[in-house]
Structure formats: C-alpha cells, structure tokens
C-alpha cells in the first residue's frame, strides 16, 4: 500500500529522484522520462473522461481501467531489474494486455472500416483521446529506447501493453466520434 502523508521531501532539490529500488538518478533519466510520459498520457485520458463519462459509461469504464493500468506500468518501470527478488513487485500482466485487446475488438466491431486516415478531431472526447494516443506513442518510443539499453530491462508485457494502448485510443477516439460518423478524414492533396 502507498502512504503519502508528506508531499514534498526536498530530496529532489539536487535534480535527482529515487527509483523504486531507492537508487537515485537524474530527473531527466530515460526511465524517469518514460514513466513521466505515462503519467502525461494518464492525465490526457482524464480529460477525455470528462467528456465520455456522461455520454458513454462503457467507454468511461474502459478508460478508468486503463488509467489504473497506467499506474501499474509506471510502477513496473520505476523499479529496474537491479534486484533479483521480484516478489511483491508490481508488474504488468499478460491478462491486462489481453483485456485491452478484447476492448479494442469490442469497440472496433461498432465501426465501419476506414477508407482514409483520420485527422485528430471531432468531439471533445475524441480529440482528447487522439491527444492521449500521440502521448502514449511517445511513451512507447521512450520505453523501447530504454529496453534497448544494456542493463535497463523493460518487461515484455509492459511493452505489449503500451503498444496496444495507442491502438485502443485510436479506436476509442473513432468510437467517441459517433462510432466514426463524426471522424474528420484526411483528403490527400486537398489544399494544393
């Protein structure tokens, strides 16, 4: 259980922060950048939920689960594999990835196939979901870069989850756009 009864500690005043293991790293460390970008993704999803909550409780519930999962991803990332004992350490599971895939399929069944690329926009919920998608893609790029560094492992399920998340957010944005009816389509060369 997490207990936060003092918000500021002054330990980061020197430009460092503690990982889950207690090791201190620079606040611009790639691992910190990765889980910070997950936090940013989560905040944008929170904005999307402001607009989805009243109009679609099913989508809102999916987004609420994802927000919780994003904290799991952050917890997984903040604890590098420098300790061999991983008991009790929170790690993203294959079941979380499978649930996300199922929800992508559920939302996608209600959509017509695409015949062009979709421009970000439409309803407020869809617009924020598109923004969350782009931020999650940035998180994924950071996580993949981190995973490629020697001694900086990132769990396989964690990488699969973040890859599926941007797919979910794209489909969810279309779903929030009146099941695709309010999608803004790209028209190649339209303004030549």
pLDDT of residue 176: 96
User: How many angstroms separate the Cα of 143 from the Cα of each of 13, 161, 190?
Assistant: 26, 11, 36
Q: What is the mean pLDDT of the chain?
A: 90
Dihedral in degrees, nearest 10, Cα atoms 19, 42, 28, 34 = 70
Q: How far apart are CA 153 and CA 142, in angstroms?
A: 12
Q: Is the pLDDT of residue 158 over 90?
A: yes
Tell me the three-class secondary structure of 162-186, residue by residue.
HHHHHHHHHHHHHHHCCCCCCCEEC
Q: How far apart are CA 85 and CA 49, in angstroms?
A: 37
Write out pLDDT tens, residues 68-103. 999 999 988 988 765 555 556 678 899 999 999 999
Domain 28-185 has what CATH class?
mainly alpha
- String of b and e for 176-191 (b: at least 16 CB within 10 Å)? bbeebeebeeeeeeee
* Token couple for 5: 């009864």
63 near 50, Cβ under 8 Å?
no
128 near 67, Cβ under 8 Å?
no
pLDDT of residue 85: 53
SS3 state at 85: coil
- Annotated domain spans of the chain: 28-185
Q: How far apart are CA 32 and CA 18, in angstroms?
A: 9
pLDDT of residue 54: 82
pLDDT of residue 137: 98
Side-chain half-sphere CA neighbours of 76 within 13 A: 21
Write out pLDDT tens, residues 105-135. 999 999 999 888 999 999 999 999 999 999 9
SS3 state at 26: strand
DSSP letter (8 states) at residue 110 = T
Supply the pTM of this predicted model: 0.90
Proportion of the chain above pLDDT 70, given as a percent? 93
């Amino acid at each position: 259980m997490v207990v936060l009864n003092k918000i500021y500690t002054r330990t980061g005043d020197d430009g460092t922060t503690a990982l889950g293991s207690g090791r201190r790293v620079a606040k611009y460390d790639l691992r910190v950048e990765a889980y910070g970008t997950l936090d940013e993704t989560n905040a944008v999803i929170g904005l999307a939920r402001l607009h989805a909550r009243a109009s679609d409780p099913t989508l809102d519930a999916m987004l609420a689960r994802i927000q919780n999962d994003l904290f799991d991803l952050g917890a997984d990332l903040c604890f590098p594999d420098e300790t061999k004992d991983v008991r009790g350490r929170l790690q993203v599971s294959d079941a979380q990835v499978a649930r996300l895939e199922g929800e992508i399929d559920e939302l996608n069944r209600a959509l017509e196939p695409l015949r062009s690329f979709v421009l970000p926009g439409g309803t407020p919920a869809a617009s924020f979901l598109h923004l969350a998608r782009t931020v999650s893609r940035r998180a994924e790029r950071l996580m993949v870069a981190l995973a490629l560094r020697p001694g900086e492992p990132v769990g396989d399920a964690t990488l699969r989850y973040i890859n599926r998340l941007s797919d979910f957010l794209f489909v969810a944005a279309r779903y929030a756009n009146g099941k695709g009816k309010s999608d803004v389509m790209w028209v190649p060369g339209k303004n030549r």
